[in-house]
Each structure stands twice: as C-alpha cells, then as structure tokens.
Structure 1
Amino acid sequence: MAPSDTYALDTTWWMVLKDLGIVAADVLRRAGLSEDLPRLPSVRLLPDEYHRFWNGMEAESGDALLPLRVCEAIRSEAFSPALFAALCSPNFITAVRRIAQYKRLIAPMRLEVSEGHDGMTLELLWTCASRPPDSLVLMELLFFVSLARMGTREAVRPVAVTTTALPSPIAPYEAFLGTSLKRGGRYQLVFDAADATRPFLTSNARMWETFEPHLRQQLAELDGAVTTSQRVRAALLEGIPSGRVSIEAIAGKLAMSKRTLQRRIESEGASYQQLLAETREALAHHYLRKTALPLAEIAFLLGFDEPNSFFRAFRAWTGGTPEEARHAR
C-alpha cells in the first residue's frame, strides 16, 4: 500500500491519552483496532481507521471539550515529528510550511498556506472520501494556535477561524482562541502578518539540519519492519500465561479475522501452531534458566493442562527433558 493511502499514527498520542486519563486499550477496542499498536515501532492507519481512532478517544473521554483538552496536553517536550520540526523553525510561517510538506503522510489531510501583505491563511483540506469527525477538524485548527504560542511564548490570537460545524458548548473554544468561531464551507485559520513572521524562541537550525533527513525517512516509510508473525509472538507472550492461546483469541487481540491471520502468517512461511510452539519453547527455557519455579508450575504458565504434556512437548522441541535443561544451565 502506498504512503498516500495510509498515515503514520504519531506515538505522541499514547502520551496524550495517558495525560488525559484515557486507557489506550479501551480506545483501540472501541475503534476496532489492534491492542498491540502502542508497542509497535511504527503504525500506519487507513483514513477510516484514523477517524475511528479519534471517535474512540472521544467516546472514551465523554468530554465535549476533547479537542481543547488534547491541545492543552500536547507539550513542546513531547516527541512528535510534526511538533519537533515546527518548533525548530525560525518563525511561525516557516513552521507552518514545514508541517505542510509532510502533513499528508501523518494524517488524511493537506495543508494549504497562503501569505499576503495582510497576513497568512491556513486551509485544512481532507484528502479522503469519508467526512472527518467535526471535533477532529476542530482539534487540528486549535493545534496551529497552540503551536504559535509554544514557539513564540506569546498569546497569539488568530484573526479569524472558520469551520463547517460549530461545537457545543462554543464559549470555551472561543475563549481559548481569543476570537469568535465562524461557520462556513471551509476549515480555515487567518493570522495577521506580525504573528506570521513572529520569531520562534525554540528555533534551532543546527538541530533541524541534523534531524531532517531522518525525519523524512521515518515519515516516508511504511510499516514493513514488523511482520504479522512477530506481532503474533508478542501477543502469545502475553496470552500464554493466562491460557489465551487459541488462534481465535490472538486474532481478536490483533483486530483481524482468523482467516486473515492465517493467510498473513502463511504468506510469511510459518503456521500458527509453529509460532505457538516456538513461543512456548522460548518461555520454557526462560523459566528453566532464570527461575527456580517447580516444573509443574512452569507447565501451567505455558498453558499445558498437566505436567506430562509439557514434558512430551519439551522432548519434541529439544530431544531432552526440562530437568536436563535446568541442570545444564
């Protein structure tokens, strides 16, 4: 799948959820997404999944002011590619233009920036067929105001803010913006010329030059490094001690059907039973070498109904017995 079809889910979201007191696993379950996403080094979502993730956040928070809360929770010390790139900029207009260069890689939207004598206009254009959640659009609009304030350490206020649907209640949002929200046919922010060129106190040209090549590579890469087999092994490490080792249980945890999971594993030259056996064997060696647990308890932790089943499986794996492996350590 091409980069234009999927979008990187910024790892900053997990910190924001934590700060807001929202359980990430509950959001992912509600959105129908895999529970292991926070543990993956890179996550890319389809537009519909991106919107479902936000809707899951909103439902779990139960807060009509969620867009405002998210912008308040995003801090300059949080490592976000978009935020880091912007805050290294010499001024607000440069920050916005940098975000516009790769925003389409991390969200199903495009940012158009126009600059004139009177100021700067930002327009958010959604690039997917489905309509984005109104509150998600509002959060994106608020983000650029927060960005200006973080970089300049000044109470920057937009001249005008337009969106297609006004929030309720509206007063807290207008108090945050310092201006009124207008309803229209576009998603737009307008800043005066002085604020557009206002210097960023966070400017760091040397850091940007060092970091930019790596940032571009990260944003352009698809999530091809983590295979389905690796995700299954990680899910089994959590599920085996609790006895949740069926393919149906693991498929559910990874938010895919049993048939899809089997097809993806087989395309990687493996089988579910093979992955289960390999994971059990690795856990068995860990328990035997690193703990003094009785063999019967190890058998239980590996999901076997009784010790003899564990002994037979271990001999099939290694050609020896658990006792021999423990003494050989």
Structure 2
Amino acid sequence: MKAAFSPGIKIHPGFWDSLNQLGITRHDIAEEANVIPSSIHESEVTQEQYFSIWQAYSSLVGDTAEAIVRLTNSFEVSKYPPSVLAAYHARDYRDALVRMTRYKQICPPERLHMKEAGDRCFIQLDWHHSEAGPALLIGTTLAFLLELGRRGTGQPLVAELVEFTHPMGDVKTLEAFFGCEVRTGSRLNQLTLNRLDLDLAFQSYNVELLDILIPILDKSMDGHPYQSLSEIVKCIFKRNLSDKRLDVCTIARELHMSERSLQRKLMQEGTTFKQLLTEARHEQARAYLSDRSLDIKEIAYLIGYQDQNSFYRAFRTWEGDTPSNWRVRHV
C-alpha cells in the first residue's frame, strides 16, 4: 500500500454521500486506489491521494463518461459545500458562474477561467501545478457547471461545445448530457455556453443566505489568487445595464462592502467605477449586436442609453464605426 502523505486538499462529505447513493463506499475506493483506508477518512488528503480517489471511482464504474453523468446527477443540493451554495443561490447564471470561478480557487488543484466573447461564454479548466488530473475530475467539474445552471434556472439548458484533452469513454453519453458536440484530444478542457443563457434568473436566489455566506468565503480567500474585483463589478453591471438606478451604493451593497472600500479597491486594481461601466456597455453592445433579432434602438435601451443617438456616439468612440456597420462586418 502507498504511504500516507501530508494533507492539503479537502474532500467535502457531499462527495462521499453521492458515491454512497451510487452504491460505492469509501472502503471500495480505498481498495481500488490502493491507499490506506484511514487516510481517506481525513478531512484533507494529498494531491496524489485525491487523484487516486477519482481514478478509483472511474475504474469501479467502468466508463468515464457514465461515471461523470452519474456523479453529477446524484449530487444533492442539500449536500453542496458553502462555496457551491453561494453559486446555487446567486441572482442569475452569470453570477453563479462568477462565484464558482472565484471560490473554486479556495480548494485546489483545478482552476476555472471564465471569458465572455461575442455570443459565447467560455469556461476553461486548468491546474495550479503542471500535472493534469484524471479525466473523470475534469469531466465532472465541467458537467456540474452546466447542471448548476439547469438546477438554478429550472430550465433544460444545453452547452454549445465541450472540449477535453483526455479520452472520456463513451462520448455519446456525454453528448446526450451536454446536448452538444463533445470533442476529445483537444488542446484544452473547455465548456462553451450560449451567452444569453447567462442572463437567466435563478429560482434559487436567496439574498439573505448570501449575506451570510459571502463574507465568510471572501475571508477564506485571504492568501489565494482570485478573480479581480473589477471583473466581478463588470459582471454585475452587465446584468443590470438597463437599470438607471444602478450606482456605487447599489453595487457595494450587493458585494457586502462599503462604498469607500469598493472605490478604494477598484483604484488599487487600476480602474474606476465609471471606467468599468463603460467597458461593460461596450462588451454588451457587441454581444447584443451579434443577435440579429435585436434592433439598434432596443440595444441602446438594454445597455442603459436613453436615446439611440447617445448610443451611436458612444459606439463610434469605441469602435470607430456605427453599430449598423459593425454588425454588417462582424455578424
């Protein structure tokens, strides 16, 4: 048997509860992984043990794709760890993904990076260290991000594309789950979503619970690299651009901090509230222009302009062209 190593990675009890529902015990995992049984009863394990546990579960099921889908579907909301609860009770799908990206970094080894461009949202998974983890861990992480959106919105969301560097077993099983093409042998591990889905409200939104969870989770971020406050503020802007009452006070209250603290931290990141508002409008304008079902006047309203002419002037400043001409060239 392998010797026990110093602890480092937390395994939430909800993971073991989900395996139990699938008829797999900790003893089964320890035996398959060839690790000391007592070591996986600890609250933390080493990266080597962590990867061995995931690989053992995959081996016990027999097919990576089936193991991914079964585990993702079996994880009960009541068993979510605090960081996932903060995402599940977010305002909308975008807010949930931002929180998942931010708080995932509390518990390595995997990291998530989120980017919105055009009419797509890209969520990429990589590692804190050079060693890549098991295919099952990669697949389950990306599958759960989609499942989170389905549970929060109550709608049968599908992805646009899923890419994996690893072989993933029966790809057809994964395509049935994600509702899109699944590619293996890619250069990265990435989930691509329809950007419009990110605006969908969460039925599970619970501001009172977030008031409790967010300060605690943010405190635990001390000493960890995390998504910048600027990106979080910009995400809040994007979902509220048509609200003329959106101001520093409103955003500070949502982030559970004072106006002074918010402005000071933004200055430390080399930006301002006004600059982020402009960037959010610019990025959302490009995204909305990619949707031909929206006319220019409607887009102007959606990003917070009272009249179409103001939007035209701003867009010329950003792109050096009119919204109509930009749409013709780029869409």
Name the TM tier (shorter chain): 0.5 to 0.7
Deviation of 1:186 after TM superposition, in Å, equals: 0.6
Measure the CA separation in 2 of the matches of 1:205 and 1:116: 29
Kept in 2, the 8 Å contact 1:10–1:80? The answer is yes
Deviation of 1:197 after TM superposition, in Å, equals: 1.6
CA-based RMSD of the aligned residues comes to 2.3
Q: Write the mapping of 1:16-165 to structure 2, written as runs, cut at 5 A.
A: 16-36=18-38, 40=42, 43-64=43-64, 65-165=66-166
Question: Partner of 2:183 in structure 1?
Answer: 182
**TM-score where L is the length of structure 2:** 0.60
**Shift in CA distance, 36/218, structure 1 to aligned 2, threshold 3 Å:** farther
Measure the CA separation in 1 of the matches of 2:148 and 2:161: 16
Kept in 1, the 8 Å contact 2:91–2:205? The answer is yes
**Shift in CA distance, 61/168, structure 1 to aligned 2, threshold 3 Å:** closer
Whichever residue aligns with residue 52 of structure 1, its letter is S
Kept in 2, the 8 Å contact 1:11–1:38? The answer is no
Deviation of 1:68 after TM superposition, in Å, equals: 0.9
Kept in 2, the 8 Å contact 1:47–1:108? The answer is yes
Given candidates 192, 195, 198, the residue that maps to 2:197 is 195
Q: Write the mapping of 1:251-262 to structure 2, written as runs, cut at 5 A.
A: none
Whichever residue aligns with residue 148 of structure 2, its letter is L
**Shift in CA distance, 38/204, structure 1 to aligned 2, threshold 3 Å:** farther
**TM-score where L is the length of structure 1:** 0.60
Kept in 1, the 8 Å contact 2:63–2:169? The answer is no
Measure the CA separation in 1 of the matches of 2:38 and 2:221: 20
Measure the CA separation in 2 of the matches of 1:105 and 1:83: 12
For residues 267-326 of structure 1, give each alpha carbon's deviation from its aligned partner in whole angstroms, at most 9, with x where no partner exists: xxxxxxxxxxxxxxxxxxxxxxxxxxxxxxxxxxxxxxxxxxxxxxxxxxxxxxxxxxxx
Question: Partner of 1:15 in structure 2?
Answer: 17
Kept in 1, the 8 Å contact 2:39–2:45? The answer is no
Tell me the matched-pair count: 215
Kept in 1, the 8 Å contact 2:63–2:170? The answer is no
**Shift in CA distance, 106/28, structure 1 to aligned 2, threshold 3 Å:** farther
Whichever residue aligns with residue 170 of structure 1, its letter is V
Measure the CA separation in 1 of the matches of 2:40 and 2:150: 29
For residues 172-204 of structure 1, give each alpha carbon's deviation from its aligned partner in whole angstroms, at most 9, with x where no partner exists: 110111101023101111111211121111111
Whichever residue aligns with residue 18 of structure 2, its letter is V
